[in-house]
Amino acid sequence: ADIRELKRLDAATAVEDAYHGQGLMNRIAALPATTIAAIHAACAGGGCELALACDLRLAAERARIGLPETSIGMIPGWGGTVRTVRLLGGVVARRLILTGELLPAADALRIGLVDAVFPNDAFRQGVDGWIDRLLTRAPAARKTAKRLIRRLEAEDWDSAFRAEAHAFASCYASGEPAEGMAAFLDKRPAAWYAPRRS
């Protein structure tokens, strides 16, 4: 968010702003498609919260990533606090949020904040490579896995294991396991029915 806009908030309007931002980030996180944050430079505050709402985060070497809100007297309020704790654990969340530091891409990779780092001059090719690899994976299985992972992040163990079993079984309804296993045994690429990149 723009700091000038944030300056206009008070305790009452800040709650509404947070709910609005959380709703937006939750809609992004709930998209059935696999989402990728391609981070080529600074990714701070709301930008980092957006990246955390994505399934994968890919960065250029020059990128710096973090949640500096405490440096201006607030905390991440658009889901960044919750997502940082859930995705990276309390230790990492404390470091990122309490210090407000922007991490170099290599450090972000080391702690799991990003999934890959590419040289600056090969960033686009690196991102395209990940996209191409994702497109070779069964689309219904990816959607099922994404939905299940999101659910498991919020559930107790017994419920999580039940949900996993049902999601595993639902993959078979798509027909993708039959094609995937046949392709594996035939030593050929699977013929998924998802659109391919041009």
The runs of H, that is alpha helices, within the chain are 3-7, 11-29, 46-53, 80-88, 90-99, 105-110, 123-134, 139-152, 157-173, 176-186
pLDDT of residue 123: 98
CA separation for the pair 116, 59 (Å, rounded): 6
CATH code: domain 3-134 is 3.90.226.10
179 in catalytic set: no
pLDDT by residue for the chain (198 residues), tens digit each?
577 787 888 777 888 889 989 999 999 999 999 999 999 999 999 999 999 999 999 999 999 999 999 998 889 999 999 899 889 999 999 999 999 999 999 999 999 999 999 999 999 999 999 999 999 999 999 999 999 998 888 777 677 567 657 766 676 677 787 888 788 889 999 887 655 565
The pLDDT score that the predictor gives to residue 178 is: 82
Sorted by where each begins, the domain ranges of the chain are 3-134, 139-186
Q: Exactly one of 5, 69, 155, 164 is catalytic; which is it?
A: 69
Catalytic residue among 49, 61, 155, 164: 49
Residue 55: φ, ψ to 5°: -70, -40
Count Cβ neighbours within 10 Å for each residue of 2-31 and write b for 16 or more, e otherwise.
Answer: eeeebeebeeeeeeebbeebbebbeebbee
Residue 69 is among the residues annotated as catalytic for this protein: yes
pTM of the model: 0.83
The pLDDT of residue 79: 92
Tell which CATH architecture fits domain 139-186. Orthogonal Bundle (1.10)
